[in-house]
Amino acid sequence: MQRIRYFNPTKEVKHNYTLAKVIILALVCCTASPNFIWSQNEASQGILKAWTDEGFEDIKVTLKADTLFAQIEDHAYRGTFRGAAVALRKVAELKPEITHYELLLTDYQMPQLALHAQHVDSVWAVRVDREMAAIEQQLAEQERQARSNWKIDISVVPMISLVNNKLDHLFDYAVRIAPAIAVTPWKGGRITIQPIVPISYRLTKGDPKHYVQMGSTNISQQFFSNKHWQLSAAAGFFHIQRMGVQARLTYHATRNLDLMLEAGQTGDTYVHKGGIHFGKWKQTDVMVKADYYEPHSKLQFELQGGRFPYGDYGGRLDITRHFAEYAIGVYGVLTGGEHNAGFHFAIPFGGKRQRRTHFLRLRLPEYYAMEYSMSSFFKYTQERMGLTYNTQPDQNHAAHYWEPAFVQEYVSRILNGTFK
């Protein structure tokens, strides 16, 4: 008996419909994907150009849907927060469809902070931390644009010294100019040359400030910087009386607490009859430090203890109040059975924006910093107790202050219009 096969139109139509759907989907993918990729590339190039025109350098950009992953180094705006806020605002104006931002902030081409932002209905939500690995991974294949390598900054730094312990006149003084010539030749590296030239002075005979001296003239290198650890080192002149080598290891224990170990091997340098003389590198200094920032009061507490450069053992406590771009504080030192106290400040000096448009830039320093020491005890002064040194001419409590809660507050306030 012959079997009769019946035609099922419903089944056949369903099969044809499915096949057609696959073909159409394939055609859409083939034609739409290049357009989508082209659109993403066009948006990235637009952001890159806007940031480059604004003065940012070492830029990486990539877009994933409505999220921007990027890296910038700010050589245009003063401080550590203003440039980041300007960069985000530029993108929001250029590409309003982007609502999420993952921004890596660098210093000397080394990662310092991760900025996470969301922009919805003209309101910015900002968080800053050191969760940098995920952003670095997203940007790993992107080429760095607007490179800062070998570009030269010359900062004209004024130096004023006052000594008021004289009996026959009010004080001795010295006004000097100290141009700091700085360049970043490679990632994490910094070469600085700083001659100190006297302009006007009233000094005792034989005082080294009569002569041209060397300030911070050295080479420094930051070897790594991640969520928990930073390691840096420097070698050369640290200021007019010290030269040698120094290393610093930093552990980011919590969001607001850093623990540091600093060690150096230095020797005396001094000027006599117009010549620079070098002592033996026989003094070793070792300091353990704790640095805590309290975001509500904006107070920074720094406690350190160990061996100072001239061999005395003791400790120092600094309490600094941060007023956005201003930092004003007091300190006390107890060492070798003697004590000392004083105050310090770092205040804005140059303009908010000093964009680098050419290979060489002549500018004023971002901050003017000074520390006053009471030093009223003869032994303390004579034996040069409690002294410290900086490895960079712009090392103070305001410049390069990469504290997450501090940067977060002021980036958020600028973006939301409560700070200018």
Q: Report the SS3 class of residue 123.
A: strand
- Do 219 and 357 sit in the same domain of this protein? yes
| pLDDT score recorded for residue 206 | 72
pLDDT, position 321: 98
The count of other CB atoms within 10 Å of the CB of residue 170 is: 9
Backbone angles phi, psi at 112, to 5 degrees: -120, -45
Is 56 contained in some domain? yes
327 shares a domain with 271: yes
Q: Are both 334 and 384 inside the same structural domain?
A: yes
**Angle of CA points 377, 379, 381, to nearest 5°:** 70
Is there a single domain that holds both residue 348 and residue 268? yes
Please identify, among 147, 164, 181, the residue that sits at the C-terminal boundary of a domain: 147
Q: What average pLDDT does the chain have?
A: 87
Residue 304 inside a domain? The answer is yes
Return the structure tokens found at 292: 């805590």
pLDDT of residue 100: 97
Task: Examine residue 413 and state whether it is found in any structural domain, yes or no.
Answer: no
Task: Kindly state whether residues 156 and 61 are assigned to the same domain.
Answer: no
Identify whether 411 is part of a domain. Answer: no
Is pLDDT of 181 > 80?
Answer: yes
Q: Which of 31-45, 83-97, 303-317 has the lowest average pLDDT?
A: 31-45
Residues 87 and 164 occupy one common structural domain: no
Most confident of 27-31, 168-172, 191-195, 199-203: 191-195
pLDDT at 30: 43
Together in a domain, 194 and 159: yes
The yes-or-no verdict on residue 39 having pLDDT over 80 is no
Measured distance CA(390)–CA(238) in Å, rounded: 6
Domain C-terminal end among 102, 130, 147 = 147
**What pTM does this model have?**
0.86
Q: In this predicted model, what pLDDT tens digit does every residue of 328-374 receive, in sequence order?
A: 999 999 999 899 999 999 999 888 999 888 899 999 999 999 998 88
Domain of 121, in residue numbers: 27-147
* 238 Rama class: left (phi>0) / alpha (psi -120 to 50) / beta: alpha
Asked, for residue 51, whether it belongs to a domain, the answer is yes
Whether residue 126 is found in the same domain as residue 162:
no
Q: What is the pLDDT of residue 125?
A: 97
pLDDT more than 70, % of the chain: 88
Beta strands (DSSP E) in 279-396 are 283-294, 299-307, 313-323, 326-335, 338-348, 360-363, 367-373
Q: Is the pLDDT of residue 36 over 70?
A: no
In the beta sheet, which residues pair with residue 114?
104, 129
Q: Which of 147, 162, 194 is the last residue of a domain?
A: 147
Residues 75 and 131 in one domain: yes
Confidence band of 18 (pLDDT split at 50, 70, 90): low
**Residue 219 forms part of a structural domain:** yes
Residues 320 and 372 in one domain: yes
Q: What is the Cα Rg of the chain in Å?
A: 28
Q: What's the confidence (pLDDT) of residue 367?
A: 94
pLDDT for 234-275, tens place per residue? 999 987 778 899 999 999 999 999 999 999 999 888 766 667
191 within domain boundaries: yes
- Among the residue ranges 48-57, 199-208, 382-391, the one predicted with the least confidence is 199-208
Do 204 and 317 have their domain in common?
Answer: yes
User: For residue 272, what pLDDT is reported?
Assistant: 67
Count of domains observed in the chain: 2
Q: What is the pLDDT of residue 21?
A: 52
Degrees to nearest 5, angle at CA 63 with 61 and 69: 55
In terms of Cβ atoms closer than 10 Å to its own Cβ (0-12, 13-18, 19+), residue 128 is buried
Residue 282 and residue 384 in one domain: yes
The pLDDT > 90 percentage for the chain reads 65
What's the CATH code of the domain at 143? 1.10.287
Helices (H), 106-215: 133-138
- Quick check: is 5 in a domain? no
Q: Is the pLDDT of residue 20 over 60?
A: no
- For residues 158 and 14, the model is more confident at 158
* b (16+ CB within 10 A) / e for 194-225: bebebeeeeeeeebbbbbebbbbbbebbbeeb
